[in-house]
Structure 1
Amino acid sequence: MTEERKRARLIYNPTSGQEIIKKNIAEVLDVLEDIGYETSAFQTTPEPLSAQKEAERVAKAGFDLIIVAGGDGTINEVVNGVAPLEYRPKLAIIPTGTTNDYARALKIPLGDPVKAAKIIGQNQIIQMDIGRAFGDKYFINIAAAGTLTELTYSVPSEVKTHLGYFAYVAKGIEMFPQTKVRPVKIIHDQGVFEGEVSLIFVALTNSIGGFEQLAPNTKLDDGNFTLILVKTDKLFEMLALLIQALNGGQHVTDVNIEYLKTSKLRLEVLDDEEPFMLNLDGEYGGDTPVELEVCHNHIEFFVNRNEIAAESISAEENELN
């Protein structure tokens, strides 16, 4: 009797990035079949939560693997589809988005869908932490607040498609002068922070906005967020912090930075102005106040373990495979 083949579903965003997946989909499916997966494909539609609904359906149907071809937003949707469920299929990524922060963190090859698909054949897995906000919204990479974090809402998707990461850079430069400090209260594992901040980052990986040094000692599976608070709105001080971050993550000891680990936190704004808008993986997630928590080792992802720095992973290698 022949062994039953594992079932996989490729969920792909046809408009992501430069629409590269559409040119490679047949070859990607061949790779997955060669690895041993009986694979079918689903093309996302403009309907809201198209990828999320399909991921939930596939998980409930008992599929073994979901491969996500798209950017961080598509991955976020798929994770939100499976994260609340008792049975969660393994996930794999084919990065075709603009910044591809999550793929960078997992060292999945960029710009080559076939090469990315072959990572699955290496059979290297990490039980990844994911974040939960407002009790029912999940995120894979970053929760953020502050003027600059709102720039992802204001870059039209067609501009992102044509200009890619430069669209964000241009918008960031435009919004820099609008940045200002706000008084906040943050309750975390080590106590309470009360003070003025201009930017708040709650990170699950070391890759934020295309930079891999903003949260330099973040682990992918240790049950903790890396909380980064920027305590200045002065342009030259913020540029100095950016230069330090690019120079090996030296910003973490700067007087204008609060940097700590926590498994959960509560954030509220203390002034009478508008609440902070929370950015979850590049999309608007809701307004403060908000409680965030880590779902420890919640979803198994195929990763390029050979390229991930050992200090980024808590689990021993024999636990991973």
Structure 2
Amino acid sequence: MKRVHIIFNPLSGRGRLSHDIEDLILGLVRQGKIVSLFETDAPGEAIQEAQERAEKQDVDLLISYGGDGTLREVINGLMKAPQSLPVCPFGGGTANDFSSYLEIPREVNDFLNAIPHFSLHCLDLGESMGKYFINVIAAGTLATIAHRTEPNLKNLLGPVAYYLEGIREVITENLFGTIRIECDQFEYLGEYLVFFLSNSSSIGGFFHMAPYADTQDGLLEGLLIKKAPLPALVEIATGIQEGKHIESPYVSYFQSERVRFWTEDELDMDGEFFLQNTPAEGIEVRARQKLIPFYY
């Protein structure tokens, strides 16, 4: 991995990363790497840059330096090219769910110490409507609140307190949605709080949200939290840290290669807005097995 190209989103994590990029580049150069840098200015630029580098095959490794949204753009760019490139996510965003799942260090010095020991692993992706995601598609009012909320509020309250506040808002304003889900392993039609289809176990800053996730099994993790009374929802929220929430009778957890669902609620993909609602025919989400080489 001699030629390293960094795709850097300077706005990720509310712009906290700019002072670290020089340290990252200098550290890689000291390790004997030939380093190049591309800074994104607008949405979609990481897609174009990753596609161009993969088409030209003029680098050995892409480092996606930003959050889950930046990584998703890099992956979508690679999927447009006839030949892929290895990707190493270096989490600089708010949640950094996927790089946290891969246990990639978040501090520059720790990352530089770890990277000589990394190796290649081909991992799954999720796909829906021609777009690829690396971590999660989410639907429901709680998911909408999550990606519209200031990151500093999440950090101030802490993950559990933040989600308890979100649950309180949903209940007091009667914001439960309706969803229909169909796959070979599970069917549901009714009211719900939030629905996830995930590739990894880490969602919204909770490492055990989808506790049986495996990014090389060709399956999506389905997690549905149904409408429930407040005490049950509080119990679910406080059990997420240890993965005990799936024991609740108000939670359904399943694994499937392909899922179709319908809802009038907003959807997000890897923490960013995806669709205002599903079309009349619903949307199909499927797992695509071992498509992208990751370096970690």
Q: Bin the TM-score by the shorter chain.
A: 0.7 to 0.9
Q: Are 2:207 and 1:212 equivalent residues in the alignment?
A: yes
Deviation at 1:104, TM superposition (A): 0.9
Q: Are 2:46 and 1:57 equivalent residues in the alignment?
A: no
- Aligned-residue CA RMSD (Å): 2.3
Q: Which residue of 1 aligns with 2:6?
A: 10
Percent of aligned positions with the same letter in both sequences? 29
Q: Give the 5 Å matches for 1:1-321.
A: 6-17=2-13, 19-45=15-41, 47-62=42-57, 63-110=59-106, 112-134=107-129, 136-155=130-149, 159-160=150-151, 165-166=155-156, 169=162, 172=166, 175-177=169-171, 178=173, 180-246=175-241, 248-269=242-263, 275-286=264-275, 287-288=277-278, 289-303=282-296
CA deviations over 1:20-43 (Å, ceiling 9, x no partner): 432232332233334453210011
Contact 1:10/1:68 (8 A) holds in 2: yes
Deviation at 1:255, TM superposition (A): 0.9
SS in 2 for 1:17: coil
Tell me the distance in 2 between the aligned counterparts of 1:181 and 1:151. 12
Contact 1:143/1:203 (8 A) holds in 2: yes
Structure 2, unaligned stretches of length 5 or more? none
Q: Which amino acid aligns with 1:175?
A: E
Deviation at 1:93, TM superposition (A): 1.7
Deviating above 6 A after TM superposition, structure 1's stretches of 4 or more consecutive aligned residues are none
Contact 2:141/2:177 (8 A) holds in 1: no
Q: Which amino acid aligns with 2:66?
A: G
Aligned pair in 2 of structure 1 residues 199, 24: CA closer, same or farther (>3 Å)? closer
Tell me the distance in 2 between the aligned counterparts of 1:281 and 1:43. 20
Q: TM-score, normalised by structure 1?
A: 0.81
Contact 2:176/2:191 (8 A) holds in 1: yes
SS in 2 for 1:151: helix
Q: TM-score, normalised by structure 2?
A: 0.87
